[in-house]
Amino acid sequence: MVSPLGRDLSKIAQRIASSGIKPLNRREVAREVSERRGGR
């Protein structure tokens, strides 16, 4: 059984994958999080 949040996240992931957008790697995710939190 999948929660409503899980279904929503799965739909979002499917849309991103089908759009052709390149997924971020771990380093890129860490940089994005840092920038959004006011870091460099």
Write the CB contacts of 34 (distance below 8 Å, at least 6 apart in sequence): 40
What is the total count of domains within the chain? 1
Which residue in the block uniquely carries the two structure tokens 């979002």? 12
- pLDDT, tens digit (0-9, with 9 covering 90-100), for 1-40: 999 999 999 999 999 999 998 889 999 999 999 999 997 6
Structure tokens at 9: 């996240």
pLDDT score for 40: 67
Residue 20, token pair as written in the block: 């052709």
- Please tell me the pTM assigned to this model: 0.56
Task: Give the domain range for residue 10.
Answer: 4-36
